[in-house]
Structure 1
Amino acid sequence: MQTFYTIALLLTGVILSNIIKQLVPRIPEAFILIIVGVILSFTPAFHNFELRPEFFMLVVIAPIMFIDGQKQSFNRIRQRFRVVFFLSVVLAGASALVVGILTNNFETKWTLPVAIALAAIVTPTDAVAVKSMTSGTAMPENVNEALELESLFNDATGLVILDLALSVLQNGTFSAITGVEHFIFVALGGVIIGIIAGFLIVSLRVNLNMRANNPETIIIPISLLTPFLVYLLAEHLGTSGILAVVATGMVHNWESERLRLTSTRVQLTSATVWNTISSFLNSVVFLFLGVTLPMVWKDFIQMGTMTIAQLIGISLLIYLSMLAIRYWWSVHENPDNPDHFLGPHDKSVHQLWSRIFAISGVHGTVTLAMAFSLPTRIGGHPFPYREELIVIATLVILISMLVSAISLPLMLPVKTTEYSLADIDHVRNKMVDYATLQLRDTIDDHAVREALTEQLQSQKGALNGQIIDFDEYQELMFETKDFIVTYIHGPSISAKYSLEVVNIYEKILNNFVAPNFNPREHFANRVHYIFKKNFKKVSGLCKHALWHVKNGQITKHQRTVARQKWLAAQPSDTFQQRLDVRDALLELNNEVIDSTDKYLDDVLRGRLLRKQSNNQYINLVRRSINRYCSMVRHDYNKQAVFVSSDLYIQAFQQEYNFIQRGVSRGVITPEMATVLYDEINQAQSLQLQRTQQLQIITS
């Protein structure tokens, strides 16, 4: 149960953070998650929580690195190998060495291996944290690429250097040759194991995919297990599990390129699953950071004023030195080298990009996990200054995040797009209405026509009962009722139906009260209206029940006998006249339905011709009229209406046609078209899947 509560609280934290982010969009998401994590630390499940690095690296970091690896390709890594090597290995190693020496000179009580261990801990950078700080700003693409390539492998570099430092502390000796050999074995071995394991798993998946009837039920679970199995295998063999899962992820990227448009269902489902997991785990990373802060703070305040000041000074020194190293490294790259990582630039732009790259060296929870991974005892003695190292790592993380959160939005331009959400809504609404009209003209069955219309209208995302302009709804409702009155008194209807039938139908129409969709109506008035309406309904039911009790018509048999007696007492011609009037009303009602549908279709068509997209109220009027016509038929029990897959395919094809014509005419930008194409694809896949499920259930 403890595991269940932990997972439930993490999910709650992610949900709460997303809600807060909508309310306070200016605060970076990472800080919101950290604050929510601090709140979670007061719950019993996370009270006195201390991060377990083995669990964290396996369950959280390994899947994230596997996902990041899938975003890369062998060709890209091969082409940018020099950049990857210099950023992830050389820059990380140089930063660790410089920081270690500075820290050792500043804190004379520490031995050099302890200082190097701390430097290794603060070496890894977090590209996800940077993206959280810079959401809403336009990060230069080449700087963004450099940050991604750097964070892809420098976690492993920091882990290897930390392992070397701990080995020196354990054995008391250090050999440069042994250290380099160990580094090569761990790093290269991890990559080789990841590639081999990746190709074996991919081969297994491809074979199963070709032979299985439902491949997604086999392939996706294998995919979910892959990063954990590869990480455990690499760590068991003494190599880097992080590099292994990254390499395996790149092999899976190769698999996607190889499969291309085959096994689309498996690929789409797998991509959706991994995108969801990635989003959740990236949020959990910062939640864990927030959850661990109270424990770190508790140790921090117990160290005394002088120690606290000293630790803050060391943290600032480490951050500033790493900032200087990153800036110097990027500003002095050779612009004549065709493979320089910041791309072509002049001097002023180069300096700006170098500053952005330097400040973007944000440290995240991997740094904290490495700090907590420090053993409590080493070489038979307590690990020296373990609590201080954890506090410094936490302070460096917070300083780097605060500096980037303040500086980067000031340095980067605001992200702009060629369209707004309002533009997308405008085009989407017209697209759906256009496809709706095209299909309505071809469908004779009213029930199918309305069911398809409701499904297509749901693409707009409007809630049932929501209306944008209540005045337009009221006006169209009155106009539609006037149209019906005029229609039933027209010459075609007068020639076919008696005046009695027309008058009865008009009386029913006048008694019909359309639902009130006014969102501006006062809450108290709405409550009063609902109470009054339901009270009247309950009162009528009570009177009806009392009449049945008074007249001895309680059971179904008693009511049937009483009705038969009443029918026997009626003159035969009077009863037949009633039946004729009822049949005539039903037939007239069908004609009203068809004529009203055409009238509302014409209203919608006219608004589309005038480039108007705020047409939700027309569908609400249509829904109200359908409700009225159901009342005339006494058809209160809604039955499921089956709409064939062919109609949905035709509808979505009409939406494609609408977008294509808009692009060709220049009224829809390619970026907007891409967004809408993706929405149509997803809606089509979902609807066809639901239709297939319905066919299976009803067959």
Structure 2
Amino acid sequence: MLENFAFYLSLVLLITFLLILAKKIQVAYPVLLVIAGLAVSFIPGIPTIKVDPELIFFIFLPPLLYEASWTTSWKELWRWRRIIFSFAFVVVFFSALSVAVFANYFIPGFSLALGFLLGGIVSPPDAVSSGAILKFVKVPKRFASILEGESLLNDASSLIIFRFAMIAAVTGQFVWQEAAASFVWMCIGGVGIGLLIAYLFLKMHKLLPTDANTDMLLTLVAPFVMYLAAEELHASGVLAVVSGGLFLSYRNQDFLSSASRLRAVTVWESFCFLLNGIVFMLIGLELPEIVSGLGNTNIYTAIGYGAAVTLVLVLVRIFAVYGAVVTTIIMRNFIKVADREIPNWKSPMLLAWTGMRGVVSLAAALSIPITLADGSPFPERNLILFITFVVILLTLVVQGLSLPILLKNFPPQDRDYIKSEKEIDYEIRTELAQVAIDKIRTDYPDKIETFPALKDQLSIWEKRLNSSEVIINYEEYQNIYSDVINTQKKYLITKNRKELLLNEEIIRKHLRLLDLQEEKLNIMK
């Protein structure tokens, strides 16, 4: 480990540079990182990278899923629950079934059980990949909500398929009754354990004398406790983390202070950004290890199998999306909750084209044991690994790079939000100002003249009611205000350097206040 420390440090620096480059050239960073990892892996003398699946399942997956669940809207998840659950469970099952049938018929040496094993590995679109790519493209809110909700839940369903297929491949037996009971427990138990542990953490936050630092530590520990507890009880650790994260996110105003919430956003964004970068770089770096295990299998034939499996997955998803549209057209005649407006044929293609695979698929493939219980090699393990890598690479690179082009040529119409974000934002700011004015004039009318600061703030809110700067010339206003803030910062820094007896902590406090004002401006973009 220590002898390769310089190499690992160089990787972190390379990841940082590529993340900056991805933002500069407006390319989703998972695509750039996977390609870079692939390129680095061919450099002579590079240390061989061996990814421990337990490292990904326990170290990487819980915090990434937890952060994704905190940023997912429960309201949107519930609104689109029918299509999300159908894609997260039904479509994943049919994807796994399609891959199993294809592998059984067209890949020599693949039994139906091995086909289901491969299908369970590559069937779920990845939450990390989808979330990272969606940050670089503008899609309608309903599409983003469906994709976020689906990718949060489908990891659990695919890993359940993977477990059952693994048992069938190892033992040659599959008992439907036991599988059904295990499936129910994994789902219900995973959700229940996640909610229970989340409730306990909520109580710790509320009852213990915590501050922003200890609150931050508790939020960092929570996903690992949820995942480990569920897995120890043979339930779904993924569902435990997702359900617990959604619960705490929904209730965060009840137990976290404003300071804790501000710090949590900053820490979690940076933490998960680094984890994402490492994971996608590792996917590319793992290729030499995977290729070396192919043995006598021709690499071009293996690439062909991977490309064919990718095509099967893409076609099944396209069929599922348009099938959902047809189902909605039929069901709206019988139930009121069905969407009354049906999109044109172009819009569903956008949803169909966002099935990128990623970290969960790689970790599941790597977790296949090298040998069976009798010591014989696990059948087709190396080929399954290679096909999985090809699927991840093709979906990330091809779909990830072509998605912006698809959006440009077939721009979807957002039928839910007619007003622009700036218009909605301005309305909310105006309404908040009116709420504040009503509160002061109703409950504290006698204090307005007593406290000049209160009177000044009241004047600011009243002026905001008649101001349209946010919509009309906000960018120009923002540039001017940013320039003023930077001038104030320079003044504080100069003052601190000149006055040796001035307490620097006071200067830092005012610099943080200016940083908050600047961040407030950036949020309003």
- Fold conserved between structures, TM > 0.5: yes
Q: 1:84: which partner in 2?
A: 84
Q: Does 1:391 align with 2:236?
A: no
**Structure 2 counterpart of 1:428, which letter?**
Q
Q: 1:407: which partner in 2?
A: 402
Q: Does 1:226 align with 2:222?
A: yes
Q: 1:64: which partner in 2?
A: 64
Q: Identify the match of residue 284 of structure 2 among 280, 285, 290.
A: 290
Q: CA 1:21 to 1:407, structure 2 compared with 1: closer, same or farther past 3 Å?
A: closer
Contact persistence 1:14–1:33 (CA under 8 A): yes
Contact persistence 1:130–1:404 (CA under 8 A): no
What is the rounded CA distance, in whole Å, between the counterparts of 2:481 and 2:475 in structure 1? Answer: 10
Q: 2:17: which partner in 1?
A: 16
Q: CA 1:42 to 1:134, structure 2 compared with 1: closer, same or farther past 3 Å?
A: same
Q: Identify the match of residue 477 of structure 2 among 420, 423, 427.
A: 427
Alignment map for 1:507-656 (pairs within 5 Å): 639=500
Structure 1 residue 39 displacement after superposition: 5.7
Q: 1:265: which partner in 2?
A: 259
SS of 2:328's equivalent in the other structure is coil
Q: CA 1:329 to 1:21, structure 2 compared with 1: closer, same or farther past 3 Å?
A: closer
Q: 2:302: which partner in 1?
A: 311
**Structure 2 counterpart of 1:11, which letter?**
V
Q: 2:184: which partner in 1?
A: 184
Tell me whether 38-47 or 143-152 shows the greater mean CA deviation. 38-47
Structure 1 residue 118 displacement after superposition: 0.4
Contact persistence 1:433–1:457 (CA under 8 A): no
Q: CA 1:216 to 1:41, structure 2 compared with 1: closer, same or farther past 3 Å?
A: farther
Structure 1 residue 433 displacement after superposition: 6.3
5+ residue gaps in structure 1?
Answer: 437-452, 459-463, 465-622, 627-635, 657-672, 681-699
Q: CA 1:144 to 1:433, structure 2 compared with 1: closer, same or farther past 3 Å?
A: closer
Alignment map for 1:46-125 (pairs within 5 Å): 47-72=47-72, 76-125=76-125
SS of 2:355's equivalent in the other structure is coil
Q: Does 1:382 align with 2:377?
A: yes
Q: CA 1:79 to 1:26, structure 2 compared with 1: closer, same or farther past 3 Å?
A: closer
Q: Identify the match of residue 216 of structure 1 among 204, 212, 216.
A: 212
Q: 1:239: which partner in 2?
A: 235
**Structure 1 counterpart of 2:199, which letter?**
F
Contact persistence 1:362–1:401 (CA under 8 A): yes
What is the rounded CA distance, in whole Å, between the counterparts of 1:251 and 1:75 in structure 2? Answer: 12
What is the rounded CA distance, in whole Å, between the counterparts of 2:151 and 2:18 in structure 1? Answer: 25
Q: 2:359: which partner in 1?
A: 365
Structure 1 residue 426 displacement after superposition: 3.8
What is the rounded CA distance, in whole Å, between the counterparts of 1:75 and 1:346 in structure 2? Answer: 22
SS of 2:408's equivalent in the other structure is coil
Q: CA 1:457 to 1:403, structure 2 compared with 1: closer, same or farther past 3 Å?
A: farther
Q: 1:332: which partner in 2?
A: 323
Q: What is the number of residues matched between the two proteins?
A: 459
Contact persistence 2:229–2:237 (CA under 8 A): yes
Alignment map for 1:406-485 (pairs within 5 Å): 406-413=401-408, 426-431=476-481, 454-455=488-489
Structure 1 residue 278 displacement after superposition: 1.7
Contact persistence 2:72–2:149 (CA under 8 A): no
Q: 1:664: which partner in 2?
A: none
What is the rounded CA distance, in whole Å, between the counterparts of 1:28 and 1:264 in structure 2? Answer: 31
What is the rounded CA distance, in whole Å, between the counterparts of 2:519 and 2:336 in structure 1? Answer: 32
What is the rounded CA distance, in whole Å, between the counterparts of 1:51 and 1:342 in structure 2? Answer: 45
**Structure 2 counterpart of 1:238, which letter?**
H
Contact persistence 2:131–2:148 (CA under 8 A): no
**Structure 1 counterpart of 2:60, which letter?**
V
Contact persistence 1:13–1:33 (CA under 8 A): no
Contact persistence 1:169–1:379 (CA under 8 A): no
Structure 1 residue 388 displacement after superposition: 0.5
Q: CA 1:78 to 1:20, structure 2 compared with 1: closer, same or farther past 3 Å?
A: closer
Contact persistence 2:191–2:240 (CA under 8 A): yes
**Structure 2 counterpart of 1:159, which letter?**
L
What is the rounded CA distance, in whole Å, between the counterparts of 1:200 and 1:87 in structure 2? Answer: 31
Q: 1:279: which partner in 2?
A: 273
| TM-score for both structures, normalised by structure 2 | 0.76
Structure 1 residue 269 displacement after superposition: 1.3
Q: Does 1:253 align with 2:249?
A: yes
Q: CA 1:197 to 1:101, structure 2 compared with 1: closer, same or farther past 3 Å?
A: same
Contact persistence 1:126–1:364 (CA under 8 A): yes
**Structure 2 counterpart of 1:13, which letter?**
L
Query: CA offsets, 1:207-235, max 9 Å, x none?
Result: 11xx34xx223221121111112211111
Contact persistence 2:27–2:136 (CA under 8 A): no
Q: 1:546: which partner in 2?
A: none
What is the rounded CA distance, in whole Å, between the counterparts of 1:108 and 1:169 in structure 2? Answer: 16
What is the rounded CA distance, in whole Å, between the counterparts of 2:338 and 2:293 in structure 1? Answer: 41
Query: CA offsets, 1:546-588, max 9 Å, x none?
Result: xxxxxxxxxxxxxxxxxxxxxxxxxxxxxxxxxxxxxxxxxxx
Contact persistence 1:143–1:342 (CA under 8 A): no
Contact persistence 2:64–2:128 (CA under 8 A): no
Q: 1:552: which partner in 2?
A: none
Structure 1 residue 105 displacement after superposition: 1.2
Q: 2:415: which partner in 1?
A: none
Q: 2:348: which partner in 1?
A: 354
**Structure 2 counterpart of 1:281, which letter?**
L
Q: CA 1:6 to 1:223, structure 2 compared with 1: closer, same or farther past 3 Å?
A: farther
| TM-score for both structures, normalised by structure 1 | 0.58
Q: 1:572: which partner in 2?
A: none
**Structure 2 counterpart of 1:221, which letter?**
L
Contact persistence 2:190–2:239 (CA under 8 A): yes
Query: CA offsets, 1:643-677, max 9 Å, x none?
Result: 9979x98x989x98xxxxxxxxxxxxxxxx99517
**Structure 2 counterpart of 1:170, which letter?**
V
Contact persistence 1:137–1:413 (CA under 8 A): no
Aligned alpha-carbon RMSD (Å) = 3.9
What is the rounded CA distance, in whole Å, between the counterparts of 2:292 and 2:421 in structure 1? Answer: 46
**Structure 2 counterpart of 1:317, which letter?**
A
Structure 1 residue 344 displacement after superposition: 5.4
SS of 2:51's equivalent in the other structure is coil
**Structure 2 counterpart of 1:389, which letter?**
I
Contact persistence 1:113–1:169 (CA under 8 A): yes
Structure 1 residue 454 displacement after superposition: 4.3
State which structure, 1 or 2, has the greater radius of gyration over its C-alpha atoms. 1
Q: CA 1:35 to 1:321, structure 2 compared with 1: closer, same or farther past 3 Å?
A: closer
Query: CA offsets, 1:461-518, max 9 Å, x none?
Result: xxx9xxxxxxxxxxxxxxxxxxxxxxxxxxxxxxxxxxxxxxxxxxxxxxxxxxxxxx
**Structure 1 counterpart of 2:222, which letter?**
T
Contact persistence 2:34–2:393 (CA under 8 A): no
Q: CA 1:158 to 1:433, structure 2 compared with 1: closer, same or farther past 3 Å?
A: closer
What is the rounded CA distance, in whole Å, between the counterparts of 1:45 and 1:54 in structure 2? Answer: 27
Q: CA 1:289 to 1:99, structure 2 compared with 1: closer, same or farther past 3 Å?
A: same
Q: 2:428: which partner in 1?
A: none
